[in-house]
Chains A and B, each alone.
Chain A
Amino acid sequence: MKYRIIDHTADVGLHVFGTDPSEVFATAARAMFDIMVSPESVHAVQSLSLQVEGADWPDLMVNWLRELLYLWSGRGLLVHSVDILDIGAQRITADVAVDSYDPARHALGSEIKAVTYHQITVKRKLTGWEARIIFDL
């Protein structure tokens, strides 16, 4: 999993790398939850199917991460891993393995409160695909 945390005064961001969009979107999902909780404490207990749409790659990325973040903020679920079944610039279909938050097992770090459009990029580069996403903490 290739990603780097972008440090910013008030908040935090991700710089994610992959060979194709599928890898970038899957890595971004995992990295977002790595910021919140140590990954080894999260198990694949339950699986959910998600389909998310967007106007273009950056919009799709924001909507995808928003949808996953809602699993946490609205339903108390932590993402273990994602299996992307189909992806295009306007739609992503995936199976998401999740765990239920349990204060006894999960030590929470920084809580991401929102996925922003701020300076969002998802681009094809010579060497592969890259994305930058900034979160509100």
Chain B
Amino acid sequence: MQLRQIDSYRWEIPMTGSMRVPGIVYASADMLKGSDQKEPLKQVANVATLPGIIKASLAMPDMHWGYGFPIGGVAAFDWQTGVVSPGGVGYDINCGVRLAATDLVEKDVRPKLESLVNALFQNIPSGVGSQGSLKLSVPEEKKVLRDGSRWALRQGLGEDGDVEHTEDGGCLPDADPELVSARALERGQRQLGTLGAGNHFLEVGLVEEIFDPHVAGAFGLFQGQVTLMLHCGSRGFGYQVCDDFLASMTKHVQKLGLQLPDRQLACAMIQSEMGSRYLRAMACAANYAWANRQILLHRSREVFQRVFGLGPRDLRMRLVYDVCHNIAKKEEHIIDGKKRTVCVHRKGATRSFPPGHPALNEGYRTVGQPVIIPGDMGTASYVLVGTEKALADTFGSTCHGAGRVLSRKAAKKASKGRSINRELEDKGILVRWTGRGTLAEEMPDAYKDVSEVVAVVHGAGISRKVAKLRPIAVVKG
């Protein structure tokens, strides 16, 4: 595929064939060298063929091969004439990350780190098919789907400040539980408050470096501070919603006579019954995910309090922010000088809104939105802040993580004869995990260097570095 370099961090895929707009990829020259980039680049071009797409089909530097849309893909569609695509959101609807800060420093935690990681592992259900301690009745589950984080708060599973420090207040409006299948409801009943498996994790970290003291201060972050990060999504519920709509939209596309380069790009006009149903069902899954992460944060607070013998006031574990990175949202953006309502798909991409944006809570309105970028479990994670440039160039979006470089099988092969657990322990990182192959599959070598990914988004100005965190304890599903 022909790529034209725009500047140090951007590459254009010129319009060819049935592309309606060009593709624009954020990457360093090195990142684009691998042969594994061929497929995701083709996917960026495929997305550009969808009706109603505006400006460009975008990809962030952590781009890798996905289904239909690439992971790291961002695309906005006109609200009146465009489409919405479940493949542009992904299976794990509202998969996301939340970061909480404490008043603890390493010397408070290190002596009890082993008890802490064991207690987190025991109290946070994780692993394949993990089930929560609560089984929801269907009417109660529907309340979760409507209210998201606020449902959890009403159950006493949170603190003041949690909701306002969550993207969209932890609740997408217009969620309609009557539009989700019996199967989705069934799968959702037992999984609320669980981490799941695969790349999902809970991580205790330390703020290793501060790049922007002013913004870090506004986020409540300081050097040496102990943090807690959670990465998970809407569990089986979101998968089922995505699967159900992929099936019906595949048929729908055939009826419409829409020629798609890939079946997984199945979509519907936003203004059609099918499109509207998907968005309202997707909102249910998004809300489920927020309630889930809220419960996990609450459970983690309880564990910290027990292990360190602190009351909630002394622990002061406050939510810095919660971002989603698999979502489609109705937003207003200025396109060629005109305000337009669009549906922004972020699939493995994070919202990155600048200071002054009305979507931000008051506390962050003057500094901008926190963007949380987890790396692999042995290296680092970053806190960034949203920018005007992101709003102007990427529909207010940036990267979401490191991105895999090794397949799971290749990672297992590369880990043969090594003890990943021991290697991490030698670096001062304690790990607990459930699945048979999880640790090898998720080892640090399996991922791109998150610092390189962050360097690109920082250099391109679509978010700015605020702080770097390093892990000291990790729980994996």
Binding site for B on A (CB under 8 A): 5, 7-12, 55, 58-59, 62-63, 66, 70, 73-74, 76, 101, 107-111, 113-114, 116-120, 134, 136-137
Contacts and interface: CB of A to CB of B under 8 A. Distances in A.
Interface residues of B, number: 41
A108 B67 contact: no
A12 B246 CA distance: 19
Q: What is the predominant secondary structure among interface residues of chain A facing chain B?
A: loop
Given A114-B242, A117-B266, A120-B263, A136 B406 contact: no
Interface string B214-244: 0000000000000000000000100110110
A8 B239 contact: no
Contacts of B410: 7
A104 B437 CA distance: 18
A117 B36 contact: no
Nearest to A56: B254
Nearest to A101: B129
Contacts, number: 93
A62 B243 CA distance: 10
Given A7-B409, A10-B404, A107-B436, A74 B67 contact: no
Nearest to A117: B263
Given A74-B186, A111-B128, A137-B198, A10 B243 contact: no
A110 B409 CA distance: 10
A115 B67 CA distance: 11
Contact of A136 (B91, B128, B407, B437): B91
A135 to B, nearest CB: 10
Contact of A116 (B198, B264, B437): B264
B405 interface: yes
Nearest to B187: A74
10 contacts: A9-B405, A9-B407, A12-B408, A73-B187, A74-B240, A109-B435, A113-B198, A113-B239, A116-B67, A117-B67
Contacts of A9: 36, 64-65, 404-407
B409 A66 contact: no
Q: Which 5 A-B pairs have the closest CB atoms?
A: A117-B263, A118-B67, A111-B128, A117-B264, A116-B67
A109 B436 contact: yes
A114 B91 contact: yes
Nearest to B242: A114
B436 A117 contact: no
B68 A137 contact: no
B71 interface: yes
B119 to A, nearest CB: 22
Nearest to B43: A118
Contact of A114 (B68, B197, B243, B437): B243
Nearest to A114: B91
Contacts of B236: 73-74
Interface of B: 36, 64-68, 71, 91-92, 128-129, 183, 186-187, 197-198, 236, 239-240, 242-243, 246-247, 250-251, 254, 262-264, 266, 404-410, 435-437, 441
A112 B334 CA distance: 41
A116 to B, nearest CB: 5
A92 to B, nearest CB: 15
A113 B91 contact: yes
B407 A7 contact: yes
B250 A59 contact: yes
Given A109-B435, A110-B437, A111-B197, 14 more contacts: A5-B409, A7-B407, A8-B65, A11-B408, A55-B250, A55-B254, A63-B247, A73-B236, A107-B436, A108-B128, A109-B436, A111-B435, A114-B91, A114-B239
B465 to A, nearest CB: 26
B436 A8 contact: no
Given A109-B437, A117-B263, A10 B247 contact: no
B250 A117 contact: yes
B262 A118 contact: yes
A8 B67 CA distance: 12
A134 B404 contact: no
A101 B128 CA distance: 12
A57 B109 CA distance: 57
A66 B247 CA distance: 10
Nearest to A103: B129
Nearest to A115: B243
